[in-house]
Amino acid sequence: MTASDYQQLVVLLQEFSQATDRYVESTGAQFGTHRTDMNALSIIMKYQQRGALPSPKDLSHELQLSSPPPLRCWTASHAWA
Protein backbone atom coordinates (compact mmCIF):
# COMPACT_ATOMS: atom_id res chain seq x y z
CA MET A 1 0.00 0.00 0.00
CA THR A 2 1.15 3.48 -0.76
CA ALA A 3 1.06 6.43 1.61
CA SER A 4 -1.95 7.71 -0.32
CA ASP A 5 -3.74 4.38 0.18
CA TYR A 6 -3.10 4.54 3.94
CA GLN A 7 -4.35 8.12 4.02
CA GLN A 8 -7.52 7.12 2.18
CA LEU A 9 -8.05 4.19 4.55
CA VAL A 10 -7.73 6.49 7.58
CA VAL A 11 -10.30 8.89 6.11
CA LEU A 12 -12.72 6.02 5.43
CA LEU A 13 -12.29 4.68 8.97
CA GLN A 14 -12.95 8.14 10.41
CA GLU A 15 -16.10 8.48 8.30
CA PHE A 16 -17.26 5.03 9.41
CA SER A 17 -16.63 5.91 13.05
CA GLN A 18 -18.57 9.16 12.73
CA ALA A 19 -21.48 7.39 11.01
CA THR A 20 -21.52 4.78 13.78
CA ASP A 21 -21.58 7.52 16.43
CA ARG A 22 -24.49 9.24 14.67
CA TYR A 23 -26.40 5.94 14.46
CA VAL A 24 -25.88 5.14 18.15
CA GLU A 25 -26.89 8.67 19.18
CA SER A 26 -30.00 8.77 16.99
CA THR A 27 -31.12 5.28 18.01
CA GLY A 28 -30.51 6.12 21.65
CA ALA A 29 -32.55 9.31 21.32
CA GLN A 30 -35.37 7.40 19.62
CA PHE A 31 -35.59 4.76 22.37
CA GLY A 32 -34.48 6.88 25.33
CA THR A 33 -31.28 4.95 25.94
CA HIS A 34 -27.68 5.95 26.54
CA ARG A 35 -24.68 4.98 24.46
CA THR A 36 -23.63 2.40 27.06
CA ASP A 37 -27.07 0.76 26.85
CA MET A 38 -26.64 0.40 23.11
CA ASN A 39 -23.15 -1.06 23.60
CA ALA A 40 -24.53 -3.59 26.11
CA LEU A 41 -27.33 -4.52 23.71
CA SER A 42 -24.75 -5.12 20.98
CA ILE A 43 -22.81 -7.46 23.27
CA ILE A 44 -25.98 -9.36 24.20
CA MET A 45 -26.82 -9.78 20.51
CA LYS A 46 -23.28 -11.04 19.81
CA TYR A 47 -23.64 -13.68 22.53
CA GLN A 48 -27.08 -14.69 21.24
CA GLN A 49 -25.63 -15.27 17.78
CA ARG A 50 -23.31 -17.79 19.44
CA GLY A 51 -26.29 -19.43 21.17
CA ALA A 52 -25.47 -18.09 24.62
CA LEU A 53 -26.35 -15.25 26.96
CA PRO A 54 -23.72 -13.13 28.70
CA SER A 55 -23.54 -13.16 32.46
CA PRO A 56 -23.30 -9.86 34.36
CA LYS A 57 -19.57 -10.62 34.69
CA ASP A 58 -19.29 -11.09 30.90
CA LEU A 59 -21.03 -7.75 30.28
CA SER A 60 -18.82 -6.02 32.82
CA HIS A 61 -15.71 -7.45 31.18
CA GLU A 62 -16.84 -6.67 27.61
CA LEU A 63 -17.87 -3.11 28.53
CA GLN A 64 -14.65 -2.66 30.53
CA LEU A 65 -16.53 -1.67 33.66
CA SER A 66 -14.80 -1.53 37.00
CA SER A 67 -16.29 -2.68 40.27
CA PRO A 68 -17.95 0.06 42.27
CA PRO A 69 -16.23 1.18 45.45
CA PRO A 70 -17.59 -0.28 48.68
CA LEU A 71 -20.68 1.44 50.02
CA ARG A 72 -19.92 3.55 53.06
CA CYS A 73 -22.51 5.04 55.35
CA TRP A 74 -21.50 8.02 57.43
CA THR A 75 -22.90 9.07 60.77
CA ALA A 76 -22.05 12.16 62.77
CA SER A 77 -19.49 10.32 64.86
CA HIS A 78 -18.01 7.65 62.60
CA ALA A 79 -18.10 5.87 59.28
CA TRP A 80 -19.04 2.23 58.83
CA ALA A 81 -19.00 -0.03 55.82
Q: What is the pLDDT of residues 65-77, one digit of tens each?
A: 887 777 676 655 5
Chain Cα centroid distance, residue 60: 10
Q: With bands split at pLDDT 50, 70 and 90, how would you rate the model's confidence at 1?
A: confident
Predicted local distance difference test score (pLDDT) of residue 70:
73
Strand partners, 74: 79
Q: Could you say which DSSP state residue 62 is in?
A: H
Return phi, psi of residue 79, to 5°: -110, 145
Q: What is the pLDDT of residues 22-78, one digit of tens each?
A: 998 898 889 898 888 888 999 999 999 999 999 999 999 999 988 777 767 665 555
pTM: 0.59
List the Cα angle 26/55/52 in 5-degree steps.
Answer: 85
**Contact yes or no for 45/38 (Cβ under 8 A):** no
